[in-house]
Structures are given as C-alpha cells and as structure tokens.
Amino acid sequence: MNKVVVITGASSGIGRSLALTFHNYGFKVFATSRNIERMNDMLEMGIKVLELDVTSQDSIEQTIKGIVEVEGRIDILINNAGITMFGPAIEVPMIDLRTLFEVNFFGLIATTNQVAPHMINARKGIIINIGSVAAWNGMPFGSSYSSSKAALHNWSDALRMELDPFNIKVITIAPGPISTGIIEKATPLLDHIMERSVYRAIASDINNRPQMSKSRQVPVQSFADFVLSTIFSRRIPANAAFGPGSVILRFLSYLPTWLSDYILKKQFGLAKLKSIIQKADKDNRPSNPVDLSNNNNNNNFNQPDIVEVGKEQSTE
C-alpha cells in the first residue's frame, strides 16, 4: 500500500520538487497550495492537487478532512509552506511581519493540529517541518525570517517529544540557501523599506544581503533527494541540516558572542555605519548626538514613517 504524503506550499520551489520526488518514488502525493492554477502539469502526472491556504483555518480543516475521508489516513506530513523577508528589525512593517509569522509558524501549527489526531489514532506517522539554518543565529537585516524559523524549531522540538508515545516521528530539517526563487520575492519590500530607512547610508551593504544568500544556493532537487533519504534512514533523525550554508552558520553559532557580532557587523556594514554616525555627531554638535528620529533635520539618518506595504508575498 502506497504511503499517503501531504505537502504544503507545493506549487513552486522546494514544495514542488518534493511533490515530484515523492511521486516518482511511488508515494501517493497530495500537493497543496493556495495557487493551484500553477499546478496543472502535476495533475497530469497523477499527483493529487488540492487548494490549501495555511493562513485559513477553514481551508486547512476542509482539505485535511477531505484527504482522510478518501484515503483513511495520512502517513507523512511535510510542512513546507513559507515566505522570506529582509529588512531592519525596527523598520519591517508590522502587517508584513505578522503575515510572515502566520505562514511560517502559525500556519504550520494549524496544519499539524489537524493531521496529528489521525496519526495518533493510527499510532504511526512522520511529520517533517522544513526549518532553516537561519534559525540558529539572529542575522542582521534577516531578523523577521530567522525568528519565525527559530520559533518553528523550538516548537518542533517540543512536538517531537510529545508525540513520541504515539510512535509518531517529528523531524526538523534545516536547509541552507536553496535555489527556489523565494529570495527574489522578498526584494521589493526591502527596496521599499530602504527608501526612507535610518540605515540608508549602508543601503548597498543591506541590498547585498539577499545576494549573499543566493551566492551559496544549491539545487532544489538535491534538497528534495535529501529529505526523501532522511525518512528512509535506519534511525530517523530528530534534526537534520543540509547545504554548505549550514556549515558556516553552525560555526558562527559556536563562536563567542563578541566575536560573531564583530564578524556580522563588519560583514553587513554596521561597523561602517557606526563610524559614519560618530563622525556626523562630532561634526554637527559635539555635545549632542545626531537626532535619528527627527524627520525635519538635514542629515542622512531620518526615521521613516510607518508604511503598510500589504500582503505582497507568496506563501510558496
């Protein structure tokens, strides 16, 4: 009997590659996404395509219920749906930050909560949560994404122990940069933020942030093959990491805080910005620092107004 696999965020990128890989290996795949119009070719291959929006409780409940009614079970759940975001921690619009957490964290929990009871009744199942190596470090100008993934990792660790009595395995897989196109979807918001950012003086350094991730990307098919091999391991791991980016960030996480801070501040232009600000403070008013919050001054460090950009990101 073919195992039933449910994959979220499967219309593109990692999710699509996972759906094709598991299908080709003989699994019965339910590829879900809120953008199913892009998945017609998968239907033609025999993959089951269903609409599922991880930010909608009704959508999650209806889709999972429909799968269980037809198949009687769900053997493997792969929580993959996610978006990314770049920008200074204090300048990312709250509406966008909340959207990111709804997709990357709360949506994953809501989906798992619908699937887990069926696995508990069956006394078996595998839940794979796609995390990120970004969860290991608070990276400058990537705090939104890394914090959402850190929350996922911690929740997944607790879930793994709580579901162990029911013979359900929970795996957190943390990939480094993968070639999926997700980074390109995040750049418009970053460009908008930088137009009026207090960090404009190092805009070129910040704009290089997405490009640095792209330079270390590995093919998405390699990651899909890695995920497949993980579930066939003699001992299924609790956590797994993939890609060269995982080595670099793991190394950083072991360094003393002062040293990792020094490296990252230099890499992302923050050390340079500090020198610029100190010089400006000294030149303008030796006894009074440059006012970074006054939009009426003439320096280059004006605090931006809060601008709601809206929910522009894709969930895949």
**Average pLDDT of the residues of the chain:** 87
Q: Which of 46-55, 94-103, 196-205, 243-252 bottoms out in mean pLDDT, i.e. has the lowest?
A: 243-252
| pLDDT reported for residue 31 | 98
**Is the model's pLDDT at 299 over the cut of 90?**
no
Domain containing residue 108: 4-267
Question: Which of the four pLDDT bands, split at 50, 70 and 90, describes residue 179?
Answer: confident
- Assign residue 27 the CATH number of its domain: 3.40.50.720
Per-residue pLDDT averaged across 12-21, rounded? 96
Is 233 inside a domain boundary?
yes
| pLDDT reported for residue 214 | 59
Is 292 inside a domain boundary?
no
| pLDDT reported for residue 259 | 95
| pLDDT reported for residue 223 | 93
Q: Which of 54-68, 139-153, 161-175, 293-307 bottoms out in mean pLDDT, i.e. has the lowest?
A: 293-307
- Whether the CB-CB separation of 108 and 210 falls below 8 Å is answered with no
List, by residue number, the catalytic residues.
Answer: 145, 149
**Is the model's pLDDT at 160 over the cut of 50?**
yes
Is 139 inside a domain boundary?
yes
Count: domains in the chain: 1
Q: Which of 1-10, 81-90, 129-138, 205-214 bottoms out in mean pLDDT, i.e. has the lowest?
A: 205-214
Q: What does the angle CA 29 – CA 101 – CA 62 come to, to the nearest 5 degrees? A: 40
Question: Which of the four pLDDT bands, split at 50, 70 and 90, describes residue 186?
Answer: low
Is 150 inside a domain boundary?
yes
Q: Which of 104-108, 165-169, 250-254, 299-303 bottoms out in mean pLDDT, i.e. has the lowest?
A: 299-303
Question: Which of the four pLDDT bands, split at 50, 70 and 90, describes residue 208?
Answer: confident
Is 299 inside a domain boundary?
no
| pLDDT reported for residue 180 | 67
Is 182 inside a domain boundary?
yes
CA distances from 257 to 47, 252, 275 (A): 47, 9, 21
Is 122 inside a domain boundary?
yes
Listed in sequence order, the DSSP H helices in the chain are: 13-24, 40-44, 57-71, 94-101, 107-122, 143-163, 182-194, 203-214, 220-231, 244-254, 257-267, 270-284
Location of structure tokens 């998945």: 39
Is 39 inside a domain boundary?
yes
Where does residue 237 fall: left (phi above 0), alpha (psi -120 to 50 degrees), or beta otherwise?
A: beta
Per-residue pLDDT averaged across 272-296, rounded? 70
